[in-house]
Structure 1
Amino acid sequence: MIKVVVSGALGKMGLESCKAVANADGLLLVGAVDHQGIGDCIGPLIGRPDVDVTLSGNLEEVLLYQKPDVLIDFTRPGAVQGNIELALKHGVRPVVGTTGMSTQEIEHFTALAQSKKIGGLIAPNFAIGALLMMKFAAEAAKYFPNVEIIELHHDQKVDAPSGTALKTAEIITSVRGNRPQGMPSEFEKIQGVRGGNYEGMRIHSVRLPGLVAHQEVILGDIGQTLTIRHDSISRESFMPGLIMAVRKVVNLEHLVYGLENLLFQN
């Protein structure tokens, strides 16, 4: 039985995570951490009144008392870094969906996990369809190297562009390199209207109520375009990938960035 604690348990992704863990075979929800609802029972909130787990505001206390195998973190930039440090300090494998960390921070945690021989995962996206979208986009970029990315999320998301968009751009860049696109003489009449420039390709971020998580990769060549799109209609779409990650990290001795490195491994 894999014992799991969820940090950020009362957030939208946190509640879905608690529910998914409670309903998964071979997994046991032993802790739920959030800065709200302290002392409440998480069970009724996820439709499982039989789950007797009390919300705590102190992650380290929960890790020490429950001794979980895995920490799932869906908190926010600025908080997630300390949570990962605590998890690794106490020999707990982090599975992190919180985005907004810098490359340097990810490299730091990768090295720390390696030194402790503790498995873990930091993933911009847990939707398997989104991972396939990135894989297909990278393959298409071999033949269509002119690319723009449009990512669309709910208006409560604090970081832009999304971690998925950045990961997609990184993967495409590994195929096509730094390639300037468009007219060298183009100019913006409204600053930022052409989006962010990543190695020559443009990334555009949309934030609106009613959205969950969506992304288009548009590739163009003479006389034709190719659009690869993924839509997460509900947060349930992230749960199969999340549960797969929890099961796989217990057998790792290093930290992995990107769920595709577990999904597409030989």
Structure 2
Amino acid sequence: MSKIKVAVSGANGKMGQEVLKMVINDPELELVAAIDLKMDAIDVGLVLGMDTVGINFENNIEQSLMRCHADVLIDFTNPQAVHHNIKTAIQYGVYPVVGTTGLQLEEIKEFDRLLKERELGGIFAPNFAIGAILMMRFAEQAAKYMPHVEIIELHHDQKIDAPSGTALKTAEMIKAQRKSIKQGLENEYEKIPGSRGGEYDGFRIHSVRLPGFVAHQEVIFGSQGQVLSIKHDSIHRESFMPGVNLAVKKVKDFVGAIYGLENLID
């Protein structure tokens, strides 16, 4: 069985480095390109603290994909770069697996159209941690019976977007399971603007950004005489790698865009 050839964009970021280690250590995968705008001509292994692996960092995605004939591009960059990276991957017939957050549903629909035109599949996941996927699914189920809810998400202070993609995906899943409810008092007001968080379909989403966090989310449901709290914590970025690995190995099985890793698990 031939190996899946993998290119990684955003390869020298914190998530990117974890992805590189995962690909290098999986005998079913072959790293063929490590793309990062701030790196060039340095062996990946030297940056990761291991022996040389024979793959140097590159800073031009077009040249990299043209050269390496990758099957899959894993992208953990930023909202400014990801559109170009995905379209470039599709142009070269490469299946995108995207963990970069900040994409809107309308944009994913556009990528779905482009992927179908080329008969490619693509996976766009706000969160690749299996535990986080279960947290979202449990919240989706709870919303059928306890529609009053708020979401609190906590991330490191280098995260550029708020709320997180995971929080937005959770909110969308909750919305699909309950009637829209305007929560809180009619005459509620904020002494400090924004202190009640952002509003989505009548409920609130709160974002915390502090050093020390990785990725954390709590979904709190309130009902008469009871409170249900569903919480997930990623304490290290390696928690996302089993999900990324699963996506890489599944993405060629379908055509079009898949939004959310929960679509790949039972």
Whether these two folds match at TM > 0.5 is yes
Displacement after TM superposition at 1:47 (Å): 4.0
Separation in structure 1 between the aligned mates of residue 179 and residue 48 of structure 2, nearest angstrom: 45
Asked if the contact 2:43–2:52 (Cα under 8 Å) also holds between the matched residues in 1, the reply is: no
Would you identify which runs of 4 or more consecutive aligned residues in structure 1 move more than 6 Å? none
CA distances 1:48-92 after superposition (whole Å, capped 9, x unpaired)? 424111110101111011000000000001100000000001100
Percent identity between the two aligned chains: 57
Displacement after TM superposition at 1:10 (Å): 0.5
Aligned to 1:149: 151
Aligned to 1:174: 176
Aligned to 1:28: 30
Q: Is 1:210 the counterpart of 2:220 in the alignment?
A: no
Aligned to 2:13: 11
Separation in structure 1 between the aligned mates of residue 132 and residue 68 of structure 2, nearest angstrom: 33
For residues 78-93 of structure 1, the aligned pairs below 5 Å read 78-93=80-95
Separation in structure 2 between the aligned mates of residue 141 and residue 152 of structure 1, nearest angstrom: 21
Asked if the contact 1:30–1:53 (Cα under 8 Å) also holds between the matched residues in 2, the reply is: yes
Aligned to 1:233: 235
Separation in structure 1 between the aligned mates of residue 179 and residue 78 of structure 2, nearest angstrom: 31
SS in 2 for 1:175: coil
Displacement after TM superposition at 1:103 (Å): 2.0
Letter in 1 for 2:214: V
For residues 55-204 of structure 1, the aligned pairs below 5 Å read 55-204=57-206
Displacement after TM superposition at 1:44 (Å): 2.3
Asked if the contact 1:127–1:239 (Cα under 8 Å) also holds between the matched residues in 2, the reply is: yes
Displacement after TM superposition at 1:107 (Å): 1.1
Asked if the contact 2:108–2:257 (Cα under 8 Å) also holds between the matched residues in 1, the reply is: no
Asked if the contact 1:117–1:254 (Cα under 8 Å) also holds between the matched residues in 2, the reply is: yes
Displacement after TM superposition at 1:143 (Å): 1.1
Aligned to 2:56: 54
TM-score with structure 2 length normalisation?
Answer: 0.97
TM-score with structure 1 length normalisation?
Answer: 0.97
Asked if the contact 1:177–1:199 (Cα under 8 Å) also holds between the matched residues in 2, the reply is: no
Displacement after TM superposition at 1:216 (Å): 0.2
For residues 235-254 of structure 1, the aligned pairs below 5 Å read 235-254=237-256
Separation in structure 2 between the aligned mates of residue 40 and residue 64 of structure 1, nearest angstrom: 20
Separation in structure 1 between the aligned mates of residue 19 and residue 179 of structure 2, nearest angstrom: 37
Aligned to 2:224: 222
Q: Aligned-pair RMSD on alpha carbons?
A: 0.9
- Is there any run of 5+ residues in structure 1 with no aligned partner, and where? none
SS in 2 for 1:53: coil
Separation in structure 2 between the aligned mates of residue 32 and residue 5 of structure 1, nearest angstrom: 6
Range 118-127 or range 44-53, more displaced: 44-53
Separation in structure 2 between the aligned mates of residue 9 and residue 141 of structure 1, nearest angstrom: 38
Letter in 2 for 1:25: P
Letter in 1 for 2:160: V
Asked if the contact 2:121–2:257 (Cα under 8 Å) also holds between the matched residues in 1, the reply is: yes
